[in-house]
């Protein structure tokens, strides 16, 4: 009977040690979510056709543009009637 108590005590001690070690060294965090940029809708510049995230696109007459130079170039090429 004493032997059984000893075995139970050792198992309990090992279990406690393993539990505290796990608490001190938490497992590595789960992979971080991809940056929001990758999830953004992509649009293409109406002038040069380059793809860019929607929040970086410059809205203009005739579509969205990658920048002010292309917006003005497109608007010069397609003047209002």
Contacting positions for Zn ion (CB under 5 A): 45, 47-48, 66, 70
Q: Convert 43-79 into a string of H (helix), E (strand) and C (coil).
A: EECCCCCCEEEHHHCEEECCEEECCHHHHHHHHHHCC
* Helix (H) or strand (E) run with residue 17 in it: helix 2-24
Q: What is the DSSP letter of 20?
A: H
Nearer to Zn ion, 11 or 69 (CB): 69
Quote the least distance from Cβ 64 to Zn ion, whole Å.
9
Quote the least distance from Cβ 56 to Zn ion, whole Å.
11
Nearer to Zn ion, 43 or 66 (CB): 66
Quote the least distance from Cβ 42 to Zn ion, whole Å.
13
């Amino acid at each position: 009977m004493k032997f059984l108590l000893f075995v139970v005590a050792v198992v309990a001690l090992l279990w406690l040690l393993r539990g505290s070690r796990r608490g001190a060294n938490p497992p590595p965090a789960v992979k971080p979510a991809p940056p929001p940029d990758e999830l953004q809708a992509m649009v293409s510049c109406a002038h040069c056709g380059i793809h860019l995230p929607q929040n970086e696109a410059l809205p203009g007459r005739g579509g969205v543009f990658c920048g002010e130079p292309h917006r003005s170039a497109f608007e010069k090429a397609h003047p209002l009637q």
